[in-house]
Amino acid sequence: MKKRILVLEFHQETNTFNPVVTQLQDFNSGLAPESEEAFESHMSIRSALRGAADALRQIDAELIPTVFLFGTSGGRVADEVLRYLLQRMTEYAENNQFDGIYASLHGATCSETEDDACGVLLAQLRKLAGDKPIAASFDLHANVTEKMLKNADVVCGYQTYPHRDHYETGYRAGSLLAKLLSGEKLHLATASIPMLIPPAGYDSDNGPFSELLNLGKNLVEQGKLMDFTVFPVQPWLDISELASRVITIARNSDCAIESADLLAKGLADIRDAVQPDLLTVDEIIDIAEANDTGKPVILSEFADSPNGGCAGDSPAVALRLKERGSSLRAALFVRDPEAVEYAFRLGVGGTGFFSVGAKITPNTPGPLLAEGKVCSLHDGQFIYEGPASRGGQGNIGRSAVVRFGKIDILLCSLTSNSGDPQNFRHFGIEPSLYDLIVVKANTSFRLPYGKISPLIYSADTFGAGAANLKKLYWSKLPDGLYPFVDDIVPTESKIY
Ligand SMILES: [Zn+2]
């Protein structure tokens, strides 16, 4: 008898400091979540779902496609979306014979009223599955909670950042699920580490974080572990259960526990070493004003990065340039649909008094109040140059380039992958011809922008994605988390 596996996807990275609620239509670029197109769009690329499917094919399992919700980063997910997902999964489970479940999740997802949307989902799946195995794959930035651990048998997360092992992660989860289905026993051990670190300070290719991952990979190669994940949690979640975590999976429970302790200590130990170097906006403007290399200075403002779930509505750098009376030729984008519509009313060549930005994210400095001239108007559709998503479709909605003295601001209604230079180029702003370019992105931009200029500096600004976590207004965060305290100890690892 073929094993029958329910497969689903629920992928959205929440930033609770961004007040814009993520709606159903924000998932799957508009494809219906239960359509064949949505399933195929995941199966035609090297997605986690495809990886799990390939692993499960090895045991000739049959997949039962269900609901697919793939969204980008943003504010909390509408309760209605979670309710719909729970309802439909219940119906799929009740109307199908199945032997196990594979869920492709992000793991740092909050709905309007549930801080642990993936935990709620897994608890419901557990109710439906009884003692049948459940495997889930996650983003490396997942907030893996007690509820998730109680209800999933297999937990695997990405081992790369910037992420590029979606397929491999799904494959790992699918392979472990296949083992459980064939009666093998696995032990999952975990330890949590009370620390938050901003993603801008580490990557999986260089430095202490990559060394920690290599330690885990060696444990797998030596046969001590079947799998491991280090989860430095997405830090912009103002919720009461939040921590970084490591997970190990092994045939031998002692090996799982020892390795989890080792990796947890390793993650705690690198906390100071992976802090990003931040400069003030003024320090970066000073560098740009003194720069005579002929190449632009690139100011990375990840505090307002849409890739980190932010709204992209901060005009902070433009404000500072204006206050200083700087003569730098500068460009940035600001999400502000009202200002876009005003620019459309003025028309190309029209001049008017604008209020730009600071309308979405609470406590954002601004708005910028200034007279501007409309240079161009756009529908916002463009094509990414990559390399990460070359050829993919970008969309920033109705948009306008407005000139304020020597500052060109791309006003947009939506945000896209803002680390791609086409986010400017397509709209007539050629980054290499400016003195200062503000790029609101975390890490993804370094490859394409590194070719434009080596002068890249990270700014210590306020925003929903601030690297300096102490700048944010927290209300629910648990006590005792690094960087709010210095001395931290990982919990002792235990088996689930
Ligand atoms: Zn991530």
DSSP state letters, 191-247 = EEE-B---GGG--SSSHHHHHHHHHHHHHHHTTS-SEEEEE---S----SS--EEEE
CA of 112 to the centre of ligand 1 (A): 21
Structural tokens at position 337: 């649909």
| Angle in degrees, 0-180, between the axes of helices 281-290 and 316-324, rounded to the nearest 10 | 60
CA of 425 to the centre of ligand 1 (A): 26
Q: List 458's β-bridge partners, or say none.
A: 300
Could you give the C-alpha distances from 215 to 167, 187, 192, 206, 264, in angstroms and in order?
22, 19, 18, 14, 11
CA of 75 to the centre of ligand 1 (A): 15
Domains of the chain: 4-274+490-495 (3.40.50.2300), 281-466 (no CATH)
Report which secondary-structure segment, H or E, holds 84.
helix 79-95
CA of 145 to the centre of ligand 1 (A): 16
Q: What is the pLDDT of residue 389?
A: 76
DSSP symbol at 484: T
Spatial separation of the C-alpha atoms in residues 418 and 395, rounded to whole Å: 10
Report which secondary-structure segment, H or E, holds 356.
strand 351-356
CA of 481 to the centre of ligand 1 (A): 20
CA of 14 to the centre of ligand 1 (A): 11
CA of 388 to the centre of ligand 1 (A): 15
Spatial separation of the C-alpha atoms in residues 247 and 228, rounded to whole Å: 5
Q: What is the pLDDT of residue 391?
A: 85
CB atoms within 10 A of CB 206: 9
Q: What is the pLDDT of residue 447?
A: 87
CA of 140 to the centre of ligand 1 (A): 5
CA of 158 to the centre of ligand 1 (A): 8
CA of 139 to the centre of ligand 1 (A): 5
| Angle in degrees, 0-180, between the axes of helices 253-269 and 207-221, rounded to the nearest 10 | 170
Q: What is the pLDDT of residue 402?
A: 98
CA of 307 to the centre of ligand 1 (A): 9
Spatial separation of the C-alpha atoms in residues 156 and 104, rounded to whole Å: 10
Give the contacts of 26 (CB within 8 A, at least 6 positions apart): 71, 72, 74
CA of 163 to the centre of ligand 1 (A): 7
CA of 120 to the centre of ligand 1 (A): 20
Could you give the C-alpha distances from 314 to 231, 279, 439, 478, in angstroms and in order?
29, 17, 12, 28
CA of 198 to the centre of ligand 1 (A): 11
Q: What is the pLDDT of residue 224?
A: 96
Exposed / middle / buried, residue 43 (Cβ in 10 Å: 0-12, 13-18, 19+): middle
Spatial separation of the C-alpha atoms in residues 264 and 489, rounded to whole Å: 9
CA of 454 to the centre of ligand 1 (A): 25
Residues of the chain with pLDDT under 70: none
CA of 93 to the centre of ligand 1 (A): 29
CA of 89 to the centre of ligand 1 (A): 25
382 φ, ψ (degrees, to nearest 5)? -155, 175
CA of 310 to the centre of ligand 1 (A): 14
CA of 399 to the centre of ligand 1 (A): 28
Q: Which residue has the tokens 């909390």?
A: 76
Q: Which residue has the tokens 């970084």?
A: 244
CA of 107 to the centre of ligand 1 (A): 9
Spatial separation of the C-alpha atoms in residues 399 and 409, rounded to whole Å: 10
